[in-house]
Amino acid sequence: MATPAAPRTIAAPVVEASDRPFWDAAAAGRLLLKRCGDCGRTHFYPRPLCPFCSSDRTEWCEAAGTGTVYTFSVMRRGTPVPYAIAYVTLDEGVTMLTNLVDCDLDAIRIGDRVRVVFKPSDGGPPVPMFTPAR
Ligand SMILES: [Zn+2]
């Protein structure tokens, strides 16, 4: 039996000054990551200091917005509508905690290819989530 992902209210993210560019880009339909100017590695969530080498030379870069489901769980209890929480590994190598949306929740599989979509939040900027790329 299919479980379609129904629309649900998404709490507004808390926007700090240091991650304002991330949310401004999300409002424009772009997914940003941070890349280190010293070690060259990409990280998520965005931080002022590189989590690998502690450099403060981090810069914003745009992600392709595509990735693979690393793992997921469909939440059915204690929520008005079922939804899928997931870790998605982006093609840039970072892993995001996110939701899988606009799909049959019973058809999701680890390893599925997904692409980013931005869903409105309750009074805040849109939030990046993922949907099957097929
Ligand atoms: Zn670094």
Which pLDDT does position 1 carry in this prediction? 64
Q: pLDDT tens digits for 84-106?
A: 999 999 999 999 999 999 999 99
C-alpha 37 – ligand 1 centre gap (Å): 7
* Mean of the per-residue pLDDT values of the chain: 95
- Strands 95-100 and 83-90, how do they pair? antiparallel
Type and span of the H or E element at 130: strand 127-132
CB 121 within 8 A of CB 21: no
What phi and psi, each to the nearest 5 degrees, are found at residue 10?
Answer: -110, 125
- Strands 113-119 and 127-132, how do they pair? antiparallel
C-alpha 57 – ligand 1 centre gap (Å): 8
Predicted structure pTM score: 0.92
What residues pair up with 43 in beta bridges, in sequence order?
34
Q: pLDDT tens digits for 35-53?
A: 999 999 999 999 999 999 9
Q: Which residue has the tokens 């989530």?
A: 129
- The mean pLDDT of 75-89, rounded to a whole number, is 94
In this prediction, residue 6 has a pLDDT band, given cuts at 50, 70 and 90, of: confident
Which residues have beta carbons under 5 A from ligand 1 (an ion)?
36, 38-39, 50, 52-53, 55
